[in-house]
Amino acid sequence: MRRVFTGIRAAVAGVLLAAHAQAEGVALVIDNDSAADLEVAVTRLETVGFQVISGSDLTAEEMRAQLAGAQESILSAEAGHVLVFFIGDFAQSSSGAWLLSSEADAPSLALADGQGLRLDIVFEIAALADDRALVLLGKRVEDEDEDAEETLGAGLAAGLPEELDLPEGVGLIRGAPEDVLAVLDDILQPGTALVAMLRRNPDLDASGTLDLRAPFLPEGFAPLARADRRAFEAAVEADTEAAFRAYLAAYPNGLNAQAARAEIERIRSAPDRIEAALFLTRDERRAIQRDLSMLGYDTRGIDGIFGPGTRGSIAGWQEATGRPVTSYLDRDQIMALATQAAERQAEIEAEERARREAAEREDRDFWAATGAAGDEPGLRAYLERYPQGIFAGLARERLDRIAAEAAAAERDRDLEAWRRARRMDTIDAYEAYLRDWPRGEFADLARSRIEERLPPPPTPAPAPEPEPTPAPPEDNQAAAAEAALGLNRATRVLIERRLARLGFDPGPIDGVFDDQTRVAIRQAQERFDLVPTGYVNQDLLTMLVSGLFQEFFD
């Protein structure tokens, strides 16, 4: 079964890409021998910090694609160390050697490049390493090579040549697949010289320009730790749950894995995130604002929007209740806040109930001392203090009854006075009624009776010759003096009647001072030795009124 691996297996955006870019080693591992355990090598290489490009049972095309990927990684990552590990069937000729693909079918020299991967190209790409390059070839044993010989075409021989042309800086170790796998841990142990490893494994063959006295990986080589640290620093800088999860995806057992998990928990436990996770509705936010307001905190409105006013109120409540001051709420705090608000509401209602009961007692006590007696002063005193009191309606009802009784008594006295005037049926009796009851029920009738009983006016004397009209300035002055008196119609009627009683003809008794009335006024002024202007002045009015009252009393 064919398997293709692409280095670190889970690519996570951001942090994982940064970890790959910082890798200091690139490894190309191809296993075309199904009996070998490729994943052991891959895991070991990844553990020490190599970016691994690997595959198993690959075709020639797939092997070339893997080699191209390795070349790209070596150049882009500026890898200091390159390790190539091939296991499978090899073929050789005088011109070179090949790793055969899983689908090679009796390849000849002419078809070798199409059914295998040229090793000299592999060596040249490995030489791109900035520091060291090591090629490990796990080839079959000699008797197996003889069997493989039968499957090869013309121009090719099984196995590897005794010597291979290796570029500067490239070392080669070859042997049986199991032997090469066995020493991989030693090779990848920082500070372990290759010569020491070869002494312990004499079945391996080493060649190339690599210094066998030096280790493949220097003492202190820890690219994984550095990449781990850099990836964690990138996650810290991003400070998001996604960034820390990306770090853990790249380094699930990394040096900072525990710290990354703690940071994820911190972010998840952030007060603002906890509150946001509650998905509070607008009505629920309004309820929280009402609870804060009930406890005396100013949220600057009950609008369901947690602005500075609400955040400040939450912080104040948290501080007052000994909680961490975050200005954000979790579910337990919301419940505690609601409980406190309900308790405060109950206290306020109890206080209000006590105030109402005290006010009611005072109301009842004052009623007992004032309005309960039923007299008008007491009832009015109660209403003045308690216009909306318990007994306000009753007090108004009793006052209305008292007023109605007083009005009825007033009407009875009015009626009795009118009956008395009727029995006497004289002008004096009716005028006496009017003096006592000027707005009485029978006042208009009394005035009518007085008019009926006044003597008829005397027959008017022949009209005297018209007198010369006073000079306009004097007329104007007299008219202005009359106007200043402000005579109403009723007063004018009385003046006309008085003039008629005195024997002057004022014309129709209608309150209109026409020419005939002016003549009568002028005649009256002459009788009273006043300047005859034909206009009423204060002196004439005094004479006429005093004469009228004299008649009443006569």
d(CA 315, CA 328): 8
Helix 515-527 with 538-553: angle, nearest 10 deg: 80
Residue 481 lies in a domain: yes
pLDDT, one tens digit per residue, over 475-506 is 788 898 899 988 998 889 999 999 999 899 99
Whether 58 has a pLDDT exceeding 50, the answer reads: yes
- Say if residue 119 is in the same domain as residue 97: yes
Domain, as residue range, for 177: 3-208
Split at pLDDT 50, 70, 90, the class of 38 is confident
In this structure, is the dihedral angle defined by the CA atoms of residues 501, 502, 506 and 511, taken in order, positive or negative?
negative
- Say if residue 134 is in the same domain as residue 245: no
Residue 215 lies in a domain: no
Report in angstroms the alpha-carbon separations of 42 from 50, 141, 191, 482: 9, 24, 21, 133
Farthest CA pair distance, the chain: 182
Percent of the chain topping pLDDT 70? 86
What would the mean pLDDT of 455-472 be, rounded to a whole number? 58
Domain of residue 137, CATH code: 3.40.50.1460
Looking at 45-49, 200-204, 398-402, which range is the least confident one? 45-49
| Per-residue pLDDT, 151 | 77
Residue 400 lies in a domain: yes
| Per-residue pLDDT, 221 | 72
| Per-residue pLDDT, 12 | 36
| Per-residue pLDDT, 76 | 80
Residue 264 lies in a domain: yes
Q: How many residues does the chain have?
A: 554
The pTM is what?
Answer: 0.43
pLDDT, one tens digit per residue, over 124-154 is 999 998 888 999 998 866 545 555 566 788 9
- Say if residue 442 is in the same domain as residue 524: no
- Say if residue 303 is in the same domain as residue 342: yes
- Say if residue 282 is in the same domain as residue 255: no
Split at pLDDT 50, 70, 90, the class of 10 is very low
Domain of residue 289, CATH code: 1.10.101
- Say if residue 84 is in the same domain as residue 191: yes
What would the mean pLDDT of 197-223 be, rounded to a whole number? 81
Whether 77 has a pLDDT exceeding 80, the answer reads: no
pLDDT, one tens digit per residue, over 521-552 is 999 989 888 889 999 999 888 888 776 545 54
SS3 assignment, position 134: strand
d(CA 15, CA 6): 17
Looking at 379-388, 463-472, 544-553, which range is the least confident one? 463-472
Task: Find out whether 371 and 378 touch, Cβ atoms under 8 Å.
Answer: yes
8-state DSSP, 243:
H
| Per-residue pLDDT, 1 | 43
Residue 91 phi/psi, 5-degree rounding, is: -130, 150
Whole-number average pLDDT of the chain:
85
d(CA 331, CA 538): 95
d(CA 507, CA 522): 14
- Say if residue 322 is in the same domain as residue 377: no
Whether 162 has a pLDDT exceeding 70, the answer reads: yes
Measured distance between the N- and C-terminal CA atoms of the chain, rounded to whole angstroms: 153
Q: Which residue has the tokens 């400070």?
A: 239
| Per-residue pLDDT, 147 | 58
pLDDT, one tens digit per residue, over 393-410 is 999 999 999 999 999 999
What would the mean pLDDT of 298-311 be, rounded to a whole number? 94
Q: Of the residues 184, 208, 232, which one is the last residue of a structural domain? A: 208
| Per-residue pLDDT, 123 | 93
- Run of H or E including 254: none
| Per-residue pLDDT, 22 | 46
Helix 282-294 with 308-320: angle, nearest 10 deg: 50
In this structure, the number of other CB atoms found within 10 A of the CB of residue 33 comes to 18
What would the mean pLDDT of 349-353 be, rounded to a whole number? 94
Specify the higher pLDDT residue, 334 or 200: 334
pLDDT, one tens digit per residue, over 180-190 is 888 888 888 88
Residue 460 lies in a domain: no
- Say if residue 142 is in the same domain as residue 239: no
Residue 374 lies in a domain: yes
Q: Of the residues 163, 182, 208, which one is the last residue of a structural domain? A: 208
- Say if residue 42 is in the same domain as residue 163: yes
| Per-residue pLDDT, 20 | 46
What would the mean pLDDT of 313-329 be, rounded to a whole number? 94
What would the mean pLDDT of 465-469 be, rounded to a whole number? 49
| Per-residue pLDDT, 372 | 85
Of 418, 481, 464, residue with least CA distance to 444: 418
Residue 363 lies in a domain: no
Looking at 17-21, 186-190, 241-245, 545-549, which range is the least confident one? 17-21
- Say if residue 184 is in the same domain as residue 63: yes
Residue 461 lies in a domain: no
In this structure, the number of other CB atoms found within 10 A of the CB of residue 368 comes to 12
pLDDT, one tens digit per residue, over 421-448 is 999 989 899 999 999 999 988 999 899 9
Split at pLDDT 50, 70, 90, the class of 352 is very high
Whether 93 has a pLDDT exceeding 90, the answer reads: yes
Task: Find out whether 547 and 498 touch, Cβ atoms under 8 Å.
Answer: yes
Q: For residue 54, which amino acid is it?
A: S
> Total structural domains in the chain?
5
Report in angstroms the alpha-carbon separations of 158 from 63, 152, 166, 268, 335: 19, 7, 20, 61, 80
The H-assigned helical ranges of 23-129 are 38-48, 60-77, 112-115, 119-126
| Per-residue pLDDT, 216 | 84
- Please work out, in degrees rounded to the nearest 5, the angle formed at the alpha carbon of residue 518 by the alpha carbons of 517 and 523: 95
d(CA 114, CA 119): 13
The H-assigned helical ranges of 214-270 are 223-238, 241-250, 257-268
Q: Which long-range contacts (CB under 8 A, 24 or more apart) does 193-202 make?
A: 198/173, 201/175
| Per-residue pLDDT, 11 | 33
Task: Find out whether 172 and 207 touch, Cβ atoms under 8 Å.
Answer: yes
| Per-residue pLDDT, 467 | 52
d(CA 498, CA 544): 6
- Say if residue 496 is in the same domain as residue 526: yes
- Say if residue 294 is in the same domain as residue 201: no
What would the mean pLDDT of 271-295 be, rounded to a whole number? 93
Q: Which long-range contacts (CB under 8 A, 24 or more apart) does 364-372 make?
A: 364/390, 367/391, 371/395, 371/398
| Per-residue pLDDT, 468 | 46
